Structure 1
Amino acid sequence: MDNNNLNYTYDKVIQVDDASASRKFIANVFLWMFVALAISSIAAYEFGTNESLLRLLINFETGSRTGLGTLVMFSPLAFVLIMSYGMNKLSYPILAVLFICFAALFGMSISYILLMYTASSVLGVFVTASVVFGVMAVAGYTTDQDLTKFGSLMIMGLIGIVIASLVNMFLKSEQLGYIISYIGVAVFVGLTAYDVQKLKRIGASEEYGDATKSKLVLMGALTLYLDFINLFLMLLRIFGRRR
C-alpha cells in the first residue's frame, strides 16, 4: 500500500512542555499500532497458509483474483479514506472498529507474499524492518531538530513513488520496480522519524480535548502502521527470496 501517508491538520498545534502527556500519547499510539500489526499478521498467515481460505481470494485455475479478492485488495484504501475524512464526525468506538477491520483486511490483502517469498525471508525482512523502524522512531522522538521541512521533502518523494508505481503498472519494468523500492525505503525511513516527531508534538499539545486526542491516537497509529508496512514491503521487494 504505497500511497498512504496521512496528513492531518497539525499545522496549528501549540506545543507545550508536557513530557508526561506526550509519552502517554505516544505509548498509546504504538500500542494501537502493535495491535493492528498483530491482527494483520494473523490474517496474512491464516489466508496465506490455508488453501481453502486463499481460494476465496484467488482463482487457482486462472491465477486471477476472485470478486472477493478484488474487494479485499481495494477495501483497505476505502477504510483509510473513511477514517481520515470522517474522523471529526465518527465516534471513537466506531473509529476503533474501522481501524481493526482495516488491519484485518490489509492482512488478507497481502497474504499473497507467503506464496511469492519464502517464509524465512519474509520473517528476516520483517525483523529488519522492525529494527530500522524502531531506530528511526527513537531518532524522531529524541531529536531537537525540527523535521517539518524534511518531512515535506519526504511527502514529495512519496507522491513521486505513487506516480512512478502507477506508471510501472503499465510498463511492468522490473528495473524501475527496484528503483522505486530503493527510493521507497529511504522515503519511509524518513517519514517514520518525521511522523513520530509530529505525534510527539500532538501529545504535548493542549489544543485538543481528551476525546479528540483519543481519536488522534488511532489516526497516529494508522500513520505509523502505514509507514512500517510500506517500509516492510519495499524491503521485501529488494531482499525477499522468491519461491
Structure 2
Amino acid sequence: MEDKQFDVLYKQSQDVGKNDSDYIGKFNFLKQASKYRPQADEAKPLARHIGKVYFIFKLELIYTAALVLGMMQNIEKAVVIEEVIFSFGGITALVLIFASLSLVYVARQHDNLILGVVACLFLCMVIATELFTVIFLMDNSDIIFECLILTITVFGVSAIYGLVTKRDITGWGPALFTALISSIVALVLNLFFQNSLVQNVIMFADIIIFTLYTMYDNQMLKFNFLSKYRDDIPDTNTSWWLLALDGSIDLYADFINLFLDILSLFGSSDDD
C-alpha cells in the first residue's frame, strides 16, 4: 500500500506546476512524497549522501576528542578557556552555540562551504570545552569509558532504526522539541531545589528524548535528501556538502547530549 501511495504522489508531483506555475502545490506534493522510500534510481545517491553525512559526523567527533585530549594535557589554559566560554552562568556558551548554528544556516543560504565548516569547527570547540569540564570533574575513567560504550550502542541502534524503518516518524519533531524544552525548564527549576532524585529522573528523560531524536534525525536525512533531489532545482556540489554538514550537526548534537546525559546519570549514581 505504501508503494502505491508513493507512486501516486510522485507522479502528481511531476505534473503540478508544469502549466500553472503552482510551485507551492508542487512543493506540498514533494514534501509528502519524500516521506516514502526512494525509487531504484534514487537509492545509490541517497546511500552516498548518508555516507557523506556520517563521514563528516565522524570527523566532528574525532576533532572534538582531540580538543578534549589537548585540554587535558594543558589544564591551566583549558580552565581559562572554560571560564571565558561559560561566563555569565553559561549564557556566553549558549550565545556561541546559537551563533555557530546561525552561521551554518547562513552558509546554506549563500552556498558558502567555508563559512559552514568554520562554524562547525567553532561549535565543536564550544562542545569540547563542556566535555572537558564534565570529564575533568570525574575521577573514574572506567565509568567514562562505560558511558561512552553505552552511548555508542544506544546511538547506533537508534540510528539504524531511523534509517531502515518504514514507519513515518518525520512528524515527531514538534513533540520532541516540546519535550526537550520541558526538560530544560525542569532542569533549571531543580537548580533551586537541588533534588538528586529529580535530577536523575530528568537525565533519564533526556536520554529517552535524544534516543528518539536520533531516530528522527536519521530518518530526516532521507527526507531532506529526497526533498532536495526531487525539487527540479539545479543544485551545486557545494549545496549537497552543506546539506550533509547540516545533517551531521544534528547527529553530533544527539550523540553529545546522549553521552553527557548518560555520564551525568551514571556519574551521580557512582557518587551516591
| TM value normalised by structure 2 | 0.74
State which of 161, 166, 171 in structure 2 corresponds to 1:144: 166
SS of match in other structure, 2:126: helix
- The aligned residue for residue 114 of structure 1 is 135
Q: Label 1:90 to 1:56 Cα distance change in 2 as closer, same or farther (>3 A).
A: farther
Cα 1:114/1:242, change in 2 over 3 Å: farther
Amino acid at match of 2:196: E
Q: Which residue of 2 aligns with 1:20?
A: 44
User: 2:117 aligns to what?
Assistant: 96
Once superposed, what is the RMSD of the aligned Cα atoms?
2.5
In the TM superposition, what are the counterparts of 1:196-211 in structure 2 within 5 Å?
A: 196-205=218-227, 206=229, 207=231, 209-210=235-236, 211=238
Residue aligning to 2:245: 218
Q: CA separation in 2, counterparts of 1:53 and 1:143?
A: 46
Query: C-alpha separation between the residues in 2 aligned to 1:101 and 1:46?
Result: 16
Structure 1 distance, partners of 2:120, 2:197, is: 35
Q: Verify: 1:180 aligned to 2:202, yes or no.
A: yes
- Report the CA distance between 1:213 and its aligned residue: 2.4
| Cα separation, 1, equivalents of 2:62 and 2:199 | 28
My pick for the range that moved more, 82-91 or 105-114, is 82-91
- Is contact 1:44-1:109 (8 Å) kept? no
Which amino acid in structure 1 is aligned with residue 118 of structure 2? V
The residue type equivalent to 2:72 in the other structure is G
Please name the residue that 1:79 is paired with.
100
- SS state of the match for residue 199, structure 1? helix
- In structure 2, what is the Cα distance between the partners aligned to 1:153 and 1:105? 27
Return the index of the structure with the highest Cα Rg. Answer: 2
- The runs of 5 or more residues in structure 1 that have no matched partner are 1-9, 59-64
CA 1:51/1:139 → structure 2, altered by over 3 Å: closer, same or farther?
same
Alpha-carbon deviation of 1:232?
A: 0.7
How many equivalent residue pairs?
227
C-alpha change, 1:122 and 1:214, in structure 2 (3 Å) is same
The structure-2 alpha-carbon separation of the partners of 1:179 and 1:140, relative to structure 1 and needing over 3 Å to count, comes to: same
Q: Which of the pair is proportionally richer in helix? A: 2
Comparing 184-193 with 205-214, which one deviates more in the overlay?
Answer: 205-214
Change (3 A) 1:90 1:165: farther
Aligned equivalents of 1:236, 1:131: Cα separation in 2: 14
User: Please, which moves more after superposition, 219-228 or 46-55?
Assistant: 46-55
Higher relative contact order (CA 8 A, sep 6+): 1
Contact 1:182/1:238 (CA < 8 Å) preserved in 2? Answer: yes
Structure 2 residue runs without a partner (length 5+): 1-26
- Output one character per residue of 1:60-86: Cα deviation in whole Å (capped at 9) or x when no partner: xxxxx3x35538734233312332355
Deviations 1:116-154 (CA, angstroms, capped at 9, x unpaired): 222221121111101110111011100000012334322
